[in-house]
Amino acid sequence: MQTVSENRAFGGTQGVYTHTSAVCGCDMTFGLFLPAEAKDGPVPVLWYLSGLTCTHENAMVKAGAQAWAADAGIALVFPDTSPRGDDVADDDAYDLGKGAGFYVNATQAPWGSHFKMWDYIAEELPALLGEQFAIDLDRQGITGHSMGGHGALTLAMGLPGRFRSVSAFAPIANPTASDWGRKQLSAYLGDDESVWAKHDATLQMQATGFDGPVLIDQGSEDQFLELLKPECLAEAMMARRQEGSFRMQRGYDHSYFFVSTFIPEHIDFHAEALYS
């Protein structure tokens, strides 16, 4: 692992690091904010998964999360959204290939050799963090925006007992029924739609739900509502009597202005679960 940068921030440290990923077969970059409490021992961690076209940097710079995480004594992890490198497959469209890993383990050519984002987030990066930093892997929460909200929800429900809490900002809520999903899931996983189900938050909510609190925020003026399909997830949460809240925020769109407005409430939500 190599240190790209480390900056003092809100009494803690905002770092950027690269490492060779055996899972993805390339070098990967991630951001990590450690609050001041990490000097005294392991602290709980909140994962932030970003959306289409993003790298580790977008949320790290735009979400304004570090100040609130410092107050709560929580570490923040900002992974990349896909493998990178000259030998990594890509596509001319913004919603497939680099920047669009969709948090799945691809099985289809040309994606299968590098696009293993599920295993990267679920296994490889947590192990690295636990070895190298003062991170308490027994106290994890996960959140994300758009494609990252999809990843946060599906990982939380797909890994029972791993995360104490999950939240999402404008998640791709029903990808098996959306053009933001069917295109990518078929490209990465093939045409067998039964394989797609574990990567659909609505279907996972119907099947298993989440053993903990859930918080979803969705902007009413989001320009991608038809692709996100938030009503499907809201109905599934209600039908399951899922512990949590689904909030439609009047007037907000899909931007980081929306995320930064509500990130303090999401961090407080996770802090309550992580310190209970």
The catalytically annotated residue of 80, 200, 217, 222 is: 222
Catalytic: 254?
yes
Which of 114, 145, 254, 266 is catalytic? The answer is: 254
Per the listing, tokens 């060779």 go with: 20
Question: Does the annotation mark 95 as catalytic?
Answer: no
* Catalytic residue chosen out of the listed positions 146, 165, 167, 178: 146
Q: Is 145 a catalytic residue?
A: no
Residues annotated as part of the active site: 146, 222, 254
